[in-house]
């Protein structure tokens, strides 16, 4: 099934080869826009739900793909927990059942979104939606929030389009030069805005809670050194658990 103009939502970058798949973590986060491969929830939207590396073809059935970047997906733990080692059997595969993959499949080929519900359009869509429960309450709430944001963005885009349709010859000659220069500047900025917007959108999906802490090794080494030196530390005075309040008396006056 083809859907002209709409392709896969994930483009994989060129990455070095690693013999331990955990080392692909940061590459995956970036390539998957810091979002789950299946339910699309972004790290920043997930509120306490962790993210994990998923093997699209499970480790159990395809151990040869353990460290293969193209078999790795960035997923929220709720989708990953439902997916586990689930894999369609030969009879199901023959009927077209398998999990959706955002780096090869176009979302709109397999799902239609209506009234906050995903409606599967193919065996791939049906299998993925059913096994991963892609119409769970949390995801319906997320779609509602997103649809409000898209409406606001559409209004801004329509405003910019209207501005670009203004006919310069209908503007009074006294301000025509200034208007023309303003419109030229707007066009220049809009042309460069695509890439900047893409970067900004991707960055807005990232959760800093999942970023590594660059000072972690140094902190750990300091902590280790402190714990090792505890025995050698001099005794420090220990305050009483319930110190009695001291009563202050007025200074005695000599009479």
139 touches Zn ion (CB under 5 A): no
* Identity of the residue, 28 or 36, whose beta carbon is nearer to Zn ion in the bound complex: 36
79 touches Zn ion (CB under 5 A): yes
Q: CB–CB of 111/121 below 8 Å?
A: yes
Q: Which stretch binds Zn ion (CB under 5 A): 75-83, 88-96, 106-114, 168-176?
A: 75-83
Burial class (CB in 10 A: 0-12, 13-18, 19+), 42: buried
* Nearest approach, Cβ of residue 61 and Zn ion (Å): 21
* Nearest approach, Cβ of residue 174 and Zn ion (Å): 58
Q: Which stretch binds Zn ion (CB under 5 A): 35-43, 49-57, 111-119, 166-174?
A: 35-43
Report d(CA 17, CA 144) in Å as an integer. 40
Q: By CB under 5 A, how many residues form the interface with Zn ion?
A: 5
Report d(CA 174, CA 3) in Å as an integer. 49
* Nearest approach, Cβ of residue 47 and Zn ion (Å): 13
The terminus-to-terminus CA distance of the chain in angstroms comes to 107
| Contacting residues for 182 by C-beta, under 8 A, at least 6 apart | none
Q: CB–CB of 35/49 below 8 Å?
A: no
134 touches Zn ion (CB under 5 A): no
* Nearest approach, Cβ of residue 236 and Zn ion (Å): 50
Q: Which of 28, 46, 72, 76 binds Zn ion (CB under 5 A)?
A: 76
Q: Which stretch binds Zn ion (CB under 5 A): 78-86, 93-101, 113-121, 227-235?
A: 78-86
* Nearest approach, Cβ of residue 234 and Zn ion (Å): 53
* Identity of the residue, 68 or 77, whose beta carbon is nearer to Zn ion in the bound complex: 77
36 touches Zn ion (CB under 5 A): yes
73 touches Zn ion (CB under 5 A): no
Q: CB–CB of 38/132 below 8 Å?
A: yes
Q: How many CB atoms lie within 10 A of CB 21?
A: 18
| Contacting residues for 163 by C-beta, under 8 A, at least 6 apart | 183, 186
* Nearest approach, Cβ of residue 41 and Zn ion (Å): 5
Q: Which stretch binds Zn ion (CB under 5 A): 74-82, 175-183, 194-202, 215-223?
A: 74-82
Q: CB–CB of 54/72 below 8 Å?
A: yes
39 touches Zn ion (CB under 5 A): yes
Q: Name the one residue in this structure whose structure tokens are 């301000």.
A: 175
Report d(CA 74, CA 202) in Å as an integer. 14
Interacting residues with Zn ion (CB under 5 A): 36, 38-39, 76, 79
């Amino acid at each position: 099934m083809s859907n002209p103009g709409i392709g896969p939502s994930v483009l994989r970058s060129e990455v070095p080869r690693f013999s331990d798949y955990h080392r692909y973590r940061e590459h995956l986060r970036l390539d998957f826009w810091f979002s789950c491969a299946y339910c699309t929830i972004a790290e920043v939207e997930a509120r306490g739900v962790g993210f994990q590396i998923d093997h699209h073809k499970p480790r159990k059935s395809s151990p040869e793909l353990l460290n293969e970047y193209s078999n790795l997906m960035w997923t929220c733990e709720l989708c990953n927990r439902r997916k586990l080692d689930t894999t369609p059997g030969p009879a199901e595969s023959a009927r077209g059942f398998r999990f959706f993959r955002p780096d090869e499949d176009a979302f709109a080929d397999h799902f239609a979104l209506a009234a906050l519900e995903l409606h599967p359009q193919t065996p791939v869509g049906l299998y993925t939606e059913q096994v991963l429960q892609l119409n769970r309450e949390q995801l319906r709430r997320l779609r509602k929030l997103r649809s409000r944001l898209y409406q606001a963005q559409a209004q801004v885009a329509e405003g910019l389009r209207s501005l670009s349709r203004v006919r310069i010859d209908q503007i009074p000659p006294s301000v025509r030069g200034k208007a023309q220069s303003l419109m030229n500047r707007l066009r220049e900025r809009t042309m460069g805005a695509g890439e900047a917007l893409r970067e900004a959108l991707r960055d807005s999906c990232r959760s800093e809670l999942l970023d590594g802490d660059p000072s972690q090794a140094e902190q750990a080494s300091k902590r280790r050194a402190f714990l090792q030196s505890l025995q050698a530390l001099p005794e420090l005075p220990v305050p009483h658990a319930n110190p009695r309040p001291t009563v202050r008396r007025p200074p005695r006056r000599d009479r």
